[in-house]
A and B are shown apart, each in its own frame.
Chain A
Amino acid sequence: AQTVTQSQPEMSVQEAETVTLSCTYDTSESNYYLFWYKQPPSRQMILVIRQEAYKQQNATENRFSVNFQKAAKSFSLKISDSQLGDTAMYFCAFMASNTGKLIFGQGTTLQVKP
């Protein structure tokens, strides 16, 4: 069975600074996808970034980038130039290819301070 672990329940960062959220996972699958979702107080689930396991290049989306270490089964999210609107709960998620089923971590609450 796959598991996803986020070891940082809460983090804070000053506006305009950079913060990194950690995620590790465990799987015996060779083909899979990894995701970071953002959940603001509005409760919406918003996809931030995704990574295909077969791609060595780390995914980037504007101020968001990942550090994907396949051998270490690590998938951290870096947020650059943090903005107040980045305040939210962030979830790391795993999906084995062709299953469609997401396995979520426990989440990290990020507070961006002015």
Chain B
Amino acid sequence: NAGVTQTPKFRILKIGQSMTLQCTQDMNHNYMYWYRQDPGMGLKLIYYSVGAGITDKGEVPNGYNVSRSTTEDFPLRLELAAPSQTSVYFCASSTQDSNQPQHFGDGTRLSIL
């Protein structure tokens, strides 16, 4: 089982560039999440999805967009990269059962210069 797979693992962007962080899971989980982790801090929720075609904002959605066309994939889009978006991004997935833990990907380290 691959679990939650994120690509790329590292990326450097210039200010104003755009990119998509990919996330896919093979556990047939309905719920998927995007978090960002700034240095020395905990994770903050950017966006989440409870199923294909359904997305909603988390704590820090500004500057990001998401889509959920399939159960497996949940890409995160940065349209105009800004230095404040330098962070490590984690994708996670879970079942609908609140008793079950979220499964995390290995993260994408993104630097905006």
Most buried by B among A91, A101, A107: A101
User: Which residues of B are interface residues toward A (Cβ below 8 A)?
Assistant: 31, 33, 35, 40-45, 48, 50, 58, 88, 90, 92, 94, 96, 98-99, 101-102, 104, 106-107
Contact A45 B104 (CB under 8 A): yes
Partner of A100, one of B98, B104, B106: B98
Contact A91 B98 (CB under 8 A): no
Contact A107 B40 (CB under 8 A): yes
User: Which residues of A are interface residues toward B (Cβ below 8 A)?
Assistant: 4, 9, 33, 35, 42-45, 47, 50, 52, 91, 93, 95, 97-107
Does more than half of chain A's interface fall in helix, strand or loop, or is it mixed?
A: loop
Contacts of B40 in A (CB 8 A): 9, 106-107
CB-CB nearest in chain B for A102: B102
Complex Cα distance, B42 from A105, in Å, reads: 6
Contacts of A43 in B (CB 8 A): 88, 106-107
Complex Cα distance, B42 from A102, in Å, reads: 11
Query: 15 more A-B contacts (CB under 8 A) besides A47-B102, A100-B96?
Result: A4-B42, A9-B40, A43-B88, A43-B106, A45-B104, A93-B42, A95-B98, A99-B98, A100-B94, A100-B98, A102-B43, A104-B42, A104-B44, A106-B42, A107-B40
Complex Cα distance, B45 from A44, in Å, reads: 17
Contact A45 B94 (CB under 8 A): no
